[in-house]
Amino acid sequence: MSFDDFRRHGHALVDLIADHLETVEQRPIVPDVQPGWVRSQLSDAAPAQPEDFDDVLADLTRVVEPALLGWQHPGFMGFFPANASLPAILGELASAGFGQIGMMWWTSPAATELENHVLDWLVDAMGLPGAWRTDSGVGGGVIQGTASEASHTAMVVARQRAVERGASTDELVAYGSAQAHSSIEKGAKVAGYRHVRLVDVDDAYALRPEEFARLVESDLEAGLVPAVVTSTVGTTATAAVDPLRSISQVARRHRLWHHVDAAYAGSAMLCQEFRHHVDGVELADSYVFNPHKWLLTNFDCSVMWVADRRPLIDTMSIAPPYLRNEATESGAVIDYRDWHLPLGRRFRALKLWFVLRSYGTDGLRAMLRQHVAMARGLADRLAADPRFELVAPVAFSLVCFVHRDGDGATDRVARHLNAAGDVYVTPSVLPDGRRFVRVAVGQARTEQRHVDRAWQLIDVAG
């Protein structure tokens, strides 16, 4: 491909993406394909000779587009949003085009310092502890791929700290609420924890700190070594918020690492009125939130902060001779290779920088508040209707409800929503076993009319 070809095909692809996103609302959210359909459309072997790139682009329309789930459809209210805003898409393009490997400051000063900088911007814009700033604090921020990876990293650091104090890995215990994301249990298992405690929750599905304290004490009595606890700010099922301050108090008393998973709800901390949900966060050891969920930055972009970067770097640093360089040895720079498992890393700060500058923090706040207002509006309608019951507080933009006639009726509502093709939800199950409908408002292009449409479908099926 010549540079001229690249310009031509690149312009065509930009237009194809614009067309795709501009018309995504006219296509069903759930693709009408059976397992194996995509593969059946492709040649059995890789081509030996170059193909015309126009044919490749045509296959995006022929094979790829019909088999996409409508994550970018404004009626997408499943899982949590995974917003790919237009400036973020361009940030990803710039990152790919510059082809940097930012493993160390030295291997890409731009990638390293821009990441330092935009994460420091976010510390201030979100009212997070000043000690987390990379430039003036003892902590710092790093972009990882997913909250799964960030939480796993925290658990590895916690494990290392406990082992250095003389514990056996076999004795270590990790804690999280019974409503924590699956990545907490998975991260603990992958990190080698053989004891994972999923702590009981209260009526609002938040971790009970007194139950956590009781489990820690009982594990200590049994000769085990409590090492890490993960709190969640905005659980996946119901957006519940664990009490950070009380959990930190227990964690500090028994020297556990306290990690906070704010993957979804963390974005809301841009707005002052949600910050009471992270009261006590200055006592936590690490914190993760995903701009790739609710902050318009396309996946992947998961921001992790640590209150003290030394234990993280001590755990993750390996320095072979081929990576030695003056900048690193001077101590004047951040080398992100020592902040996570991977060595190589993309220039992901670009897309976050593009988003922050294109929307401005006030623009992002307005979007977040609009989503929350739309979610509350839907919740008000449900609460006012005797057929339905809200089963969780609407702290952010997630609405959870059941039909009072039981699981069958609830499932009927969920099926009716998803069968329409222009709304999509992912139902789940409450701790008491009841099935419920989750409506996750937050897709970047969701407007009031999309939430009205969801209500219309609920109303008809109810």
Between residue 366 and residue 425, which ones bind a copy of itself under the rule CB under 8 A? none
- For a copy of itself, the closer of residues 258 and 351 by Cβ is 351
The binder of a copy of itself chosen from 201, 288, 350, 414 (CB under 8 A): 350
Does 332 help bind a copy of itself (rule: CB under 8 A)?
yes
The binder of a copy of itself chosen from 25, 27, 28, 121 (CB under 8 A): 121
- For a copy of itself, the closer of residues 332 and 384 by Cβ is 332
| Shortest reach from residue 253's CB to a copy of itself, in Å | 26
Between residue 18 and residue 37, which ones bind a copy of itself under the rule CB under 8 A? 18, 20-22, 31, 33, 35-37
The binder of a copy of itself chosen from 360, 405, 419, 449 (CB under 8 A): 360
Does 163 help bind a copy of itself (rule: CB under 8 A)?
yes
| Shortest reach from residue 338's CB to a copy of itself, in Å | 10
Does 14 help bind a copy of itself (rule: CB under 8 A)?
yes
Measured CA to CA, the distance from residue 345 to residue 364 in angstroms comes to 27
| Shortest reach from residue 356's CB to a copy of itself, in Å | 5
The binder of a copy of itself chosen from 186, 245, 376, 453 (CB under 8 A): 186
The binder of a copy of itself chosen from 28, 86, 411, 455 (CB under 8 A): 86
The binder of a copy of itself chosen from 74, 75, 85, 256 (CB under 8 A): 85
The binder of a copy of itself chosen from 28, 60, 407, 452 (CB under 8 A): 60
Question: Site mask, a copy of itself, residues 194-213, x = CB under 8 A?
Answer: x-------------------
Does 15 help bind a copy of itself (rule: CB under 8 A)?
yes
Query: Alpha carbon of 421 to those of 18, 74, 100, 185, 297: distances in Å?
Result: 21, 12, 40, 34, 25
55 Cβ partners below 8 Å, 6+ apart?
none
- For a copy of itself, the closer of residues 26 and 49 by Cβ is 49
- For a copy of itself, the closer of residues 79 and 387 by Cβ is 79
- For a copy of itself, the closer of residues 184 and 260 by Cβ is 184
Strand pairing category for 257-261 and 428-429: unpaired
268 Cβ partners below 8 Å, 6+ apart?
234, 274, 277, 294, 368, 372, 396
The binder of a copy of itself chosen from 27, 28, 89, 383 (CB under 8 A): 89
| Shortest reach from residue 410's CB to a copy of itself, in Å | 13
Does 96 help bind a copy of itself (rule: CB under 8 A)?
yes
| Shortest reach from residue 419's CB to a copy of itself, in Å | 14
Does 105 help bind a copy of itself (rule: CB under 8 A)?
yes
The binder of a copy of itself chosen from 48, 276, 384, 408 (CB under 8 A): 48
